[in-house]
Structure 1
Amino acid sequence: MVMFEQPEEEDGMEEENTFEVTEAIPDVELFEYKTSTSSIHVLSGAWIAYSHVDFSGNQYILEKGFYNNCADWGSQDTRICSVQPILLAPCDGSKMRKEVILYSQPDFQGECHIFDHNQEAVPEKLQTKSCKVSGGSWVFYEDKQYSGNLYVLSDGEYPNLTSMGCSPDCTIRSFKAVPMTFSVPSISLFGLECLEGREITTDTEIVSMVEEGFNNHILSVRVNRGCWVICEHSNYRGRQFLLEPIEITNWPKFSSLETVGSMFPVRQKRQFFRVKNKERGHFMSIQGGVEEVKSGRVVVTPEVEPMSDIWFYQNGFIKNKLSQTMSLQVMGNVEPASKAVLWTETRQPIQTWTAQMSGLITSLTFPGMVLDVKGGKTYDKDHVVIMPESEERPSQQWEIELL
């Protein structure tokens, strides 16, 4: 950008001094430029101008264009002492960006605070009136240390407290990210205490228990898989409860609610990831045949073909980026050390899986069986196999790395 120096009155007839800027300048006077600027021409990029040296004081964001006077860039005087370009932060490519942006006024106005990690205590001076959420779902609490009434928000923009599900006088005092899980959601509701009586099991949201024909007087709850939000009233209104896999034998005592109005599983956007075997230190990948849409051997080796070690989770299937129509399956008789392959999804029975960010990758189709690496000294020692869950086999421990 080019900065035009404000000429002094007695030198008004002289040619004005210009300063072409291509990098961060902590003090413009070091370059023989006065701190009074009449106009600015931003040729490319975006910049921040500061009223004091060393990037301090009032800030003015300058985008591409011409600024005739200080009012154009939002200042009441011409003082600019330091400037710097706005640069893209380097991305390490290994983590999904999770972020919460809180605003002190509705419609994303007022003071803005950006957070990329859990907050046990939001600063007292920050009164949240609107927010933006990215990188998954977050749960907001009315009290510090993740306590009090809560509100679960997924990716999106919330211009006011009502859109967040909050009351007009609500205060947000802590929040945290909902943990990433790879599972087919499932929840069971029971008409009696201790998980007895008439059972309602669902894997999808229920907008209104009454309107969809269910008894809303629930006495016990079991979350089988995934994360669920249970709401006091229909249409996801009223008090909310975020539940990970758990058994609640007395729901009214746990929640202080007489009825359940609605519920929904916390949905997560598709995420690409690599799967590392903790014992081997190598990533799970496929070998051969996928381009011909036949099958692919699933192995854990240091040598991988391009993109063959990139996976994603979809409706219970573990799928590889190289083939959208195939998924991780076990061929033949399902017995200890049966090999895992990439195979067409039309095969029966449908084979689905559940996994955490760190730990076991468990079969939902064959209870008690988990992914493992065959091991030994034979030619197929690197093959991924299915085995009964065993604490004595460290090769059953996996780590998922988001891309």
Structure 2
Amino acid sequence: MKDFMTRLDKHQSAFMYTTGSLKVHGGIWVGYEKEGFRGNQYLLEEGEYHDWRVWGGSNPELRSVRVIQADLSEPLMVMFEQPEEEQGAGEQEENTFEVTEAIPDVELFGYKSNTRSIQVYSGAWVAYSHVDFSGSQYILEKGFYSNSADWGSPDTRICSVQPIQLAPTDGNRTRKEILLYSEPDYKGDCLIFSYKQDAETENFQTKSCRVVGGSWVVYENKDYSGVMYVLSEGGYTSLASMGCTSSTFIRSVKAVPMTFSVPSISLFGLEGLEGREISTDSELLSMVGEGFNDHILSVRVNSGWWVLCEFSNYRGRQFLLEPIEITNWPKFSSLQTVGSMYPVKQKRQFFHIKNVDSGHFMSIQGGVEEMKSGRVVVLPEAEPMSDIWFYQDGFIKNKMSSVMSLQVIGTIEQGAKLVLWNDTRQRPQTWVAQMRGPITSITFPGMVMDVKGTARNTNVYFILGLSK
């Protein structure tokens, strides 16, 4: 609503002389002091605001509002520092600050408070004119802000920033649910399934749905069979937006299992995984459009989960495949072609790495902010955040340093030491893992991560061991 405090004509129904209080029933909103989304900004989350002081207003005026529609699961923003005016043009070195979490004072990270421009790659952010998330607010959504006027500030001063995050539910850090609605546009009755539930929808007729987290498969038959439709995170207002026909009746749903791997698939022109080979690790919107022959007779999924579609642009029948060798694709799918395909994206998930024998957790010792490497150990109890890891494009990284990953140093042999090392080395090393089981090296086939030492030794190095 660009302006709900100006009467355009006497028949206008939505009109207020002033906003005395407000209640946010759902979603995340931005309120603006002036019409047309201008002036002071206020982040409005679910709850009650009894007067203008509660929403942090500098005065009672609130004239326009809009809703934030963004994927909040993996926030990433880069801030570009304003160069010193006295420096010559040839002497200026651009200082950038990559942010993935709340920063109460940017100067503690060697970044000055004057910001020239901002690039928001993902998520939604709140920037503040003062430290500790105080002062004027500036709501930043995905896109490039070339100057302070773009984010609504009279000057370049930004002292603290934090991402907008969904509140955890039921004690979980991240919701992974699918919500099925009996009417289009998320109306009517609603069924909710969590990622641990493989469920049959019985007589419930789905007309729209929301995927809150992860990727899900919906099936036309019971027992997770028949025609399937793979749905990634987002909203689907109708059956057509889900790729279904108007007569589709969804009878069972299942979450796509989480995997820690670099996706890879190979398609072959002959049966038995022979003949012309097409290999890729990324999506292909159109086989023909990319210059490939879409006549496929066998398929090998090397790693990751893949969705193969009958036609280009991910249309037609879909097939969800885990690592598998299909020596006769036409017999398996009743299709002679593959029109398009894509890997199921696995968003960043934080986890612990636990050694089964000792029950201890992998951690790093010492601060890594000012180091080029970090010592990797296993401990029964670790310092906060030092034992929190995440998987990204084959790398295993620690939450304390997103620019470093687990790497083997020295000669690659049984017992080689594992450390946290900067990603800029010439041959970065990648890994594949399961929720339970060994962590295997992709770079050095046949090698797995293991522990050297006894359970009583708290300074235990992680090493590479030969896989059995």
The alignment's TM-score, normalised by the length of structure 1, stands at 0.73
Aligned twin of 1:18: none
Task: Give CA deviations for 1:287-310 in whole Å, capped at 9, x if unaligned.
Answer: 125122321111111131221101
User: Which amino acid in 2 is paired with 1:118?
Assistant: Q
Whether 1:374 aligns to 2:452 is yes
Q: Distance in 1 between matches of 2:346 and 2:404?
A: 21
Give 1:113 deviation, angstroms. Answer: 1.6
Residue-by-residue CA offset, 1:319-346 (whole Å, 9 max, x unaligned) = 1111111110000011001011000111
Q: Is the aligned partner of 1:196 residue 2:196?
A: no
Q: 1:107 to 1:368 in 2, by over 3 A?
A: same
CA–CA distance in structure 2, aligned partners of residues 241 and 121 of structure 1: 19
Identify the residue that residue 230 of structure 2 maps to in structure 1: 152
Q: CA deviation at 1:110?
A: 1.3
Asked if 2 retains the 8 angstrom alpha-carbon contact of 1:103 and 1:112, the reply is: yes
Question: What CA distance in whole angstroms lies between the structure 1 residues aligned with 2:448 and 2:277?
Answer: 28
Instruction: Provide the rounded CA distance (Å) in 1 between the counterparts of 2:310 and 2:327.
Output: 18
Pick the aligned partner of 1:277 from 336, 340, 355.
Answer: 355
What SS class does the counterpart of residue 291 from structure 1 fall into? coil
Partner residue in 1 for 2:206: 128
User: What is the CA deviation profile of residues 158-201 of structure 1, one whole-angstrom value per residue up to 9, with x for unaligned ones?
Assistant: 00011101111101000110000011100000111111111111
Take 1:45 and 1:234, find their aligned partners in 2: how far apart are those partners?
42
The verdict on how the C-alpha distance between 1:205 and 1:45 changes in structure 2, with shifts beyond 3 A counting, is closer
Asked if 1 retains the 8 angstrom alpha-carbon contact of 2:168 and 2:174, the reply is no
Q: Secondary structure, in 3 states, of the residue corresponding to 1:354? A: strand
- Whether 1:118 aligns to 2:197 is yes
The aligned runs of 1:27-42 (5 Å cut-off) are: none
Task: Calculate percent identity across the aligned residue pairs.
Answer: 65
Tell me which residue corresponds to 1:353: 431
> Is 1:326 aligned with 2:404?
yes
Q: Determine if contact 2:387/2:398 at 8 Å carries over to the other structure.
A: yes
* Pair 1:219 & 2:263 matched: no
Contact 1:223 1:245 survives alignment (8 Å)? yes
Larger radius of gyration: 1
Q: Distance in 2 between matches of 1:89 and 1:272?
A: 14
Partners in 2 of 1:377 and 1:113 — Cα distance? Answer: 46
In structure 2, what residue type is equivalent to 1:305?
Answer: E
How far apart are the structure 2 equivalents of 1:336 and 1:152? 42
What SS is found at the alignment partner of 1:277? Answer: coil
Q: Is the Cα contact below 8 Å between 2:378 and 2:458 reproduced in 1?
A: no
Alignment of 1:4-403 (within 5 A): 91-93=170-172, 96-116=174-194, 117-124=196-203, 126-288=204-366, 290-376=368-454, 382-390=460-468
Contact 1:374 1:381 in 2 (8 A): no
The number of equivalent residue pairs is 310
| Unpaired stretches in structure 2, ≥5 consecutive residues | 1-20, 26-46, 51-166
The DSSP-based 3-state class of the residue aligned with 2:352 is strand
Aligned to 1:60: none
Q: Which amino acid aligns with 2:275?
A: G
The list of structure 1 runs, each at least 4 consecutive aligned residues, that deviate by more than 6 angstroms after superposition, is 42-46, 377-381
Greater relative CO, 1 or 2 (CA 8 Å, sep 6+):
1
Gap regions ≥5 residues in structure 1: 1-41, 47-62, 67-87, 391-403
Residue in 1 aligned with 2:12?
none
- One-letter identity of the residue aligned with 1:184: V
